């Protein structure tokens, strides 16, 4: 390939002898998980040239349990239903259960890539080691193996559950201490006393799973959470919720909490701590087993951990208990390891910025797949991917509209909470209420005069 002298010059500290491949008419998508696949489809439909790279040997991101570092475990399944979790215009198979397991989700992603003509576009085993902006507006990319490329723009779709968040707990634990990212199967803990720290959906699912093999299972909770069964009156919980007539938010919360009391008999009576917030103000636990296991004594519930003391753990209520192993189900930090964090807006360890996707500093840098929302995310990744594609296309074909959208990105901060008083935690710093998010994105699409979303 013939390169100009400027392109042959050293870029971002590269060795002078390193050849730089000019792909300046293309966008680079990093990651072939759900977000990267959604962006590839959106670019393809918009006629935008792109390269899609994936560091693993297959697509799917965390949904391929064979990928090193995935948080997936053998019993894992969607916590949102197939009917509310699919890509736009591409429903999950009718023969899938309401809550597909990780194998079925991976197969769905593979079907999506094949149906949309994306599968053959993916460069597997290819990792971005360093990406930096240049003064001329292009992006210099160093890939594994040392190859160098120039790109018109970059979409970071590397996923948000690869970098474990580990709390600092005073003292020392003399048993086995590890993050839940390494959990795979309860057999590894057979006959042992296990403490799971963290009451999110992952922590509750793993605690339920452990009761099949562990001698004793304890779950440490910072607070009480609302527990929603997977099915309500025969429907998946999210489908049931979406079928209710539109009500004011406070009335929705009141009626939903009343329904849960009717279905579950009151969590406090079943040994589960009472929530310190209204429903929807923190991500609820979607689980049909946890309350029964707590009520039967198969899972003990303890408050937050204060300190490790050898094999014992001291809890906030002053009680102590001995354990053989501790699993930290304490979540993940959003990170983009191949770029300087200063290129992005952050809220604690969460990607912020306009809709978590658009960058106020860089016109051709986007982050997709970092949305925290109280619903299945595939369809919302899809909506954002199409917004990105339409804005990129406008940069070449409709500069005036592109500039108008840039002003929105740089100046507007929409309130996507829906009026909820969210629990003050890092997870909820950029949390979105799904109906509010969807309504805002649709209004934005119409405001910009962009065509409807697929499906």
The predicted-structure confidence for 32-80, as pLDDT tens digits, reads as follows: 999 999 999 999 999 999 999 999 999 999 999 999 999 999 999 999 9
Please choose, from the candidates 447, 340, 438, the residue with its C-alpha nearest in 3D space to the C-alpha of residue 384: 438
Residue 141 Cα to chain centre, angstroms: 25
Residues of the chain with confidence (pLDDT) below 50: 1-17
Q: Which domains does the chain have, with CATH numbers?
A: 5-163+333-448 (3.50.50.60), 166-328 (3.50.50.60)
Residue 289: CB atoms within 10 A of its CB come to 18
**Cα distances (Å, whole numbers) of residue 328 to 22, 203, 262:** 45, 8, 32
**Cα distances (Å, whole numbers) of residue 5 to 9, 15, 17, 20, 227:** 6, 15, 13, 11, 62
CA distance 300 to 320: 13
Encode burial over 1-12: b for 16+ CB neighbours within 10 A, e otherwise.
Answer: eeeeeebeeebe
Question: Read out DSSP for 394-452?
Answer: HHHH-HHHHHHHHHHHHH-----STT----SSGGGTTEE-HHHHHHHHHHHHHHHTPPP
CA distance 330 to 52: 31
* Residue 224 DSSP code: B
Structure tokens belonging to residue 298:
């198969």
With pLDDT > 90 as the criterion, what percentage of the chain qualifies?
A: 80
What radius of gyration, in Å, describes the C-alpha atoms of the chain?
Answer: 23
CA distance 34 to 108: 10
Instruction: Name residues whose C-beta falls within 8 Å of residue 395's C-beta, 6 or more positions apart in sequence.
Output: 363, 364, 402
Cα angle for residues 181, 183, 188 (degrees, 5° grid): 160
Residue spans of alpha helices (H) in 144-302: 201-210, 237-243, 249-264, 290-295
Q: Rounded to the nearest 10 degrees, what angle do helices 399-411 and 378-397 cross at?
A: 130
Which pLDDT score, from 0 to 100, does residue 422 have? 86
**351 burial class (0-12, 13-18, 19+ CB within 10 angstroms)?**
buried
CB 165 within 8 A of CB 71: no
């Amino acid at each position: 390939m013939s390169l100009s002298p400027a392109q042959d010059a050293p870029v971002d500290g590269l060795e002078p002898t390193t050849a730089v491949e000019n792909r300046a008419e293309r966008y680079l998508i990093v990651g072939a998980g759900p977000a990267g696949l959604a962006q590839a489809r959106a670019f393809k439909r918009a006629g935008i040239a792109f390269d899609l790279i994936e560091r693993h040997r297959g697509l799917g991101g965390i949904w391929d349990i064979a990928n090193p570092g995935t948080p997936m475990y053998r019993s894992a399944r969607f916590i949102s239903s197939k009917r509310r979790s699919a890509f736009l215009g591409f429903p999950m198979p009718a023969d899938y259960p309401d809550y597909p397991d990780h194998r079925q989700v991976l197969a769905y992603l593979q079907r999506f890539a094949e149906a949309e003509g994306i599968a053959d576009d993916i460069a597997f085993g290819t990792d971005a080691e360093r990406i930096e902006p240049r003064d001329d507006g292009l992006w210099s990319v160093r890939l594994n193996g040392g190859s160098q490329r120039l790109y018109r723009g970059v979409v970071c779709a590397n996923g948000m559950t690869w970098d474990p968040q580990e709390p600092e707990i005073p003292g020392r634990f003399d048993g086995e201490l590890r993050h839940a990212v390494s959990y795979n199967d309860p057999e590894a803990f057979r006959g042992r006393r296990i403490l799971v720290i963290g009451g999110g959906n992952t922590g509750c699912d793993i605690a339920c799973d452990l009761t099949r093999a562990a001698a004793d299972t304890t779950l440490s909770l910072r607070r009480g959470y609302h527990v929603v069964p997977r099915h309500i009156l025969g429907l998946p919980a999210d489908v049931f919720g979406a079928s209710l007539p539109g009500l004011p938010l406070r009335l929705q919360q009141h009626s939903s909490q009343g329904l849960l009391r009717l279905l579950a008999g009151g969590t406090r009576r079943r040994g589960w701590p009472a929530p310190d917030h209204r429903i929807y103000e923190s991500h609820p636990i979607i689980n049909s087993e946890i309350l029964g296991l707590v009520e039967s004594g198969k899972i003990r519930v303890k408050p937050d951990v204060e300190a490790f003391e050898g094999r014992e753990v001291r809890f906030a209520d002053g009680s102590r208990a001995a354990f053989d192993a501790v699993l930290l189900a304490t979540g993940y930090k959003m990170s983009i390891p191949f770029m300087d964090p200063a290129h992005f807006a952050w809220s604690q360890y969460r990607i912020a910025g306009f809709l978590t996707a658009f960058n106020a500093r860089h016109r051709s840098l986007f982050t997709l797949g970092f949305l925290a929302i109280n619903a299945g995310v595939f369809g919302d990744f899809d909506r954002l991917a199409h917004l990105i594609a339409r804005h990129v296309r406008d940069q070449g074909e409709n500069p005036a509209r592109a500039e108008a959208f840039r002003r929105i990105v740089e100046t507007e901060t929409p309130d996507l909470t829906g009026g909820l008083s969210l629990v003050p935690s890092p997870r909820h710093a950029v949390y979105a209420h799904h109906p509010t998010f969807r309504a805002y994105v649709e209004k934005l699409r119409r405001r910009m005069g962009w065509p409807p979303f697929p499906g």
